[in-house]
Chain A
Amino acid sequence: MERLQSSVVRTPPNSTVVQRRSKSYRQSYRSCLGAPSRLGLTPGLTARRLNSSRRALKSHVITEKVNPEHLALLVKTEWRLSYVTPLHQFRHTQLKRYSRQLSAFIAAEKQQGVAMEVEGSQSGFRVSFSVVQGLAATDDDAETVLIQIYSTPVFARQDEPQKSVWSGWLTCINGNPEYLQSLPKGFTCLPLFGGSGAEVLTSLVKSWFQRTFDCCFGPLEINHTSLQWLAALWTNCHTESNLQHLKMIWTLPVVPPLQVTYTVNPQDAWELWMSVRKDRLERTEEEAEAGSIDIEEVVRFVQGLKSHFYRHFRLDLSAGNLNQVSTTLGSAKSSGKIKISNSRYMITTLTLLTECALLKMPI
C-alpha cells in the first residue's frame, strides 16, 4: 500500500490523473487499472476504458439468495442511474438510525417550503433502509442497500397498506478488487445508485447522503460502448430466455431529428452473434477464452447490424447516436435509465453498470 501510494505521487506532471487533496488519500481508480503502465511513460491513459473483455453472461439464479420482495421491486422498474463516490463512515448496522434521520430531514425540508408534488400534501413520509442480501458477488463488494419512502397519510387506517412513493438503491457488484482494497479504512464503496419516483425526493435523498457521508453524486449516462455491450450480452442469452426482439433506437442529427428504430428478430440476431463468436473462437483456439467475450466481438456484431441496414437504406447509423437498447431482458437508455426485467441476468448487467459508475467517478 505504501509503495503504491508513493508511486502515485511521483507520476509525471503531464499526466491526466489528478490527485485531490481531501481528507482521504484515496488512490485514484484509474491509476489502479493502469498498474502495468505505471512504470511506463503514459500512466493513466490506457486505463480509461471499460474492461475490454468480460465473462459471458451466466444466468445466476439469485431468486433463492435474495428476498423475493426485494427482487420484485428491483425488476420491472425503470431506474435513473447516478454514480456515487465512496461513503465515509457508512455502517450497514446503523440502518434504522439512517431511516429516522432521513425521515426527519425530509420533514424539515418540507417545512422549509421545498415543494413536494407527492399525493396528499398533508401526508408525512416514512423511510426504510434495508439490506438486500445475496446480490454482492465478491467478498470485496459491500452489501446492497435499498431505500424506500412511503407516504403516511394523516388519516390512515390501521390496516391500509402504505404506498411506496419512492425507491432507490446503492450497490456495488463485482467492483474492481484492487480499487476496493485500496480504499482507506472507514470508506464504503457503493458506486452505483438507482432511483425511481418523484425527482424532488431523489434530490433530497442525494443531498442527505452528501451531507451525512461526505460523498458526491453525479449523473451516469450509459455510453454507446456500454449499450453495445448490453445488446451483445442480452443477445447471447437468447437460447436460455427468449428475447422476443432486439430493439435499438438511434437518433440522426438532421433537422428535424430523425429517429430510427431497428428491431431485429431474436433468432436471427443470435445467429449473427454466434457467427461473430465462431470466427473469433476459431482464430484464438484457446479453450479458456471461450467463457469470455471480447469487445471486438461486440463491435463486429453491431457493425454487422449496421451494414445490413446500410445495404438497404444507404444511411450510416454511425452518424447518429445510439439512444436505447431493449429486449425482454431489459432496456437501457443513453440518458442513464435502466430496466432489468429478468432477475437471472441482474448480476451481469449490474456488474457492467458498476464498472461504468466506477469509471465515471471523479477521482
Chain B
Amino acid sequence: MDDSARRLLQRIMRRIPAQMLKPTLDKWGRLTAAQRQSMDFTESKWALTEKLLAICEENEMTVKHITELEMIHVIENPDHCMWYALQLMDPEEDVHSVELTQFKEQFKSHLRELIRHVSIKIKKHTDEAVWIRIAWGDSFSRPNHLKPTYVVHHLQTPYVFVTSLTSKLKPLLSQALVLSTRYQAIKDASLSGRKLTAIRDLLMRQYQQVFPTKYPSPLAENDQNASNILINKEQAELAASRHQKACEAFGDGMLPQLQSAVYKLETKFRDHTNKTMTEREEAFRCVVKFASTNLLESLRHCASSGIASTPGTSLLSSIPLKGRNYFVITDNSPGPSSQTRQPSN
C-alpha cells in the first residue's frame, strides 16, 4: 500500500464519526470476517486507524479500494461540503433514452478524452441518483485523490450537483456531462448550500407545496394557545390568512434546510422623502445576505407573524419558486436577473 493510499485512509478515518465506523466498514465489505472481529470498536479512533492500516496492508489494498470507502461515507453523509447546483439546458431529441450504462460509458470516455490522468468512479445510489467521484491529475501527474470532486446527477432530470471544482476543471466536467447526457449546454443554477438533500428538494420541488386558493383554508384549524379569548377571536382570521399566504409562498410542513441566500442589489434608490437620492442616476449598490439554520422556515415565520408583508410578491419568495439562492437584481428585470456566478471552491 503506497503512501498516498495510506494518507487517504487516515484522512477518511478522521472524517467518519466514531459511531458510523462499524456500519461503514461493513458496507465496504473488504474485510474478512476474522479481520472484522479483530477490530475493537471501543478503542480510540487513532488505535482503530492503525489497526485498519495494518489490515489493509495485509490485504494488499490499493488506492482504488480506499476510494470506495470514501465514496460510501460521502454518499451516507453528503452534508459536509458545499454543493453547487448546475442545470443542463436544451435537450436533444434522444435525451429520454439515456440510461445508466450508456451514461456511465459515455461520461468516462468523454472525460478521459479531455484529460489524460483522471480517476473516475461511478455508483448508482438507491434513489435514482448517480454518484461520480473524480480525482483529477494532469498531463504530468497522477490523479490527486485528496481533492476529489463529487458529482450527483439524477437521470431523467436536468439537474447536476457538484462539490469543490476549480475554474480550470469546470469546463472539462461540463463538456463531459453535456455530451454524455445528450443536452446542449449547462449553466450554473445559482443555488448552493451545505445540505445536498435540501438543495435537491428545493430544486426538484420535492417538498410540500401549497397552491393559492380562493377559499378559506383548512390551515385555520392549527392549534393556538388561547391566552386571551377576545384578542384571539379578532386576530384569528388575520393570523390564519397570514399563515395561508406564508405557506403559499414558502411551502407547508417540513421545508428543505437551506442555510443562506444572497441578493446583490443594483437598483436605484427611490424614496419620496429624499429627493436628492431619488434623482440620482446611478444604482444604489448593496449586498444582502440572509442566514439561518433553516432559512425557508425563518422566512415562512416572518410571513406568518406579519414581519414580512405580502410575501408572495417579495423577492424572498423567489427562493422556493425558482429554486435559487443567489440573485442579482437590477432595475431592468422585475424579478431576479439571469446573471450567473462562478461557484468558488
C-alpha gap A312/B330 in the complex (Å): 11
CA distance A263 to B287 in the complex (A): 5
Chain A, Cβ-Cβ closest to B300:
A254
CB distance from B92 to the nearest CB of A (A): 39
Q: A256-B297, A257-B298 given as contacts; is B271 within 8 A of A314 (CB)?
A: no
A61 within 8 A of B: no
> Do A313 and B284 have beta carbons less than 8 Å apart?
no
Q: In the complex, which residues of chain A have a beta carbon less than 8 angstroms from the beta carbon of B19?
A: none
Interface core residue of B267, B280, B290 (most chain A CB under 10 Å): B290
Q: Which residue of the partner chain B has the closest CB to A261? A: B289
Contact present for A312 and B274 (CB under 8 Å) = no
Closest to B307 in A: A319
- Encoded as 1 (CB less than 8 Å from any B CB) or 0, chain A from 217 to 250 comes to 0000000000000000000000000000000000
Q: Which residue of A lies closest to B277 (CB)?
A: A275
Q: Which residues of chain A have C-beta atoms less than 8 A from B315's C-beta?
A: 312-313
- Contacting residue for B307 out of A262, A278, A308, A315, CB 8 A: A315
Interface range on chain B (Cβ under 8 Å from partner):
35 or more
CB distance from A231 to the nearest CB of B (A): 13
The B contact surface, by secondary structure, is mixed
Closest residue on chain B to residue A319 by CB atoms: B307
Complex Cα distance, B302 from A152, in Å, reads 54
| A254-B314 contact given A260-B288, A268-B284, A314-B308, CB 8 Å threshold | no
A275-B274, A313-B316 as given contacts; A308 in contact with B309, CB under 8 Å: no
- The proximity string for B residues 286-300 relative to A, scoring 1 for CB distances below 8 Å and 0 otherwise, is 111111111101110
Q: Is A25 an interface residue (CB 8 A)?
A: no
B294–A313 CB distance below 8 A: no
Could you tell me the distance between the alpha carbons of A279 and B277 in the complex, rounded to whole angstroms?
11
Closest partner residue, chain A, to B283 (CB atom): A268
* Residue from B288, B299, B305 with most neighbouring chain A CB atoms (10 Å): B288
Residues in B whose Cβ lies below 8 Å from that of A260: 288-291
Question: Given A254-B307, A262-B286, A314-B311, are A275 and B276 neighbors across the interface (CB < 8 Å)?
Answer: yes
Per-position 1/0 for B24-45, Cβ under 8 A of A: 0000000000000000000000
B298–A304 touching, CB < 8 Å: no
Given A258-B290, A275-B276, A319-B307, answer yes or no on A311-B270 (Cβ-Cβ < 8 Å). Answer: yes
Cα distance A316–B293 in the bound complex, in angstroms: 21
- A254 interface neighbour in B284, B291, B301, Cβ under 8 Å: B301
B189 beta carbon closer than 8 Å to chain A: no
Contacts of B299 in A (CB 8 A): 258
Q: Which of A269-289 contact B (CB under 8 A)?
A: 271-272, 275-276, 278-279
Whether a CB of chain A sits under 8 angstroms from the CB of B332 is no
- Kindly report which residue of chain A lies nearest to residue B294, judged by CB atoms: A256
A111-B201 Cα distance, complex, nearest whole Å: 59
From B265, B301, B307, contact of A312 by CB (8 A)? B265
A and B contact pairs by CB, cutoff 8 A, 21 listed = A256-B294, A256-B297, A258-B290, A258-B291, A258-B292, A258-B299, A260-B288, A261-B289, A263-B289, A264-B285, A268-B284, A271-B280, A272-B274, A304-B277, A308-B271, A311-B270, A312-B267, A312-B314, A315-B316, A316-B307, A319-B307
* Additional 12 contacts, C-beta under 8 A, given A264-B285, A268-B286: A252-B307, A254-B301, A256-B298, A258-B298, A261-B288, A268-B282, A272-B277, A309-B288, A313-B316, A314-B309, A315-B314, A319-B307
- The chain A residues found within 8 Å of chain B, CB to CB, are 252, 254-265, 268, 271-272, 275-276, 278-279, 300, 304, 307-309, 311-316, 319-320
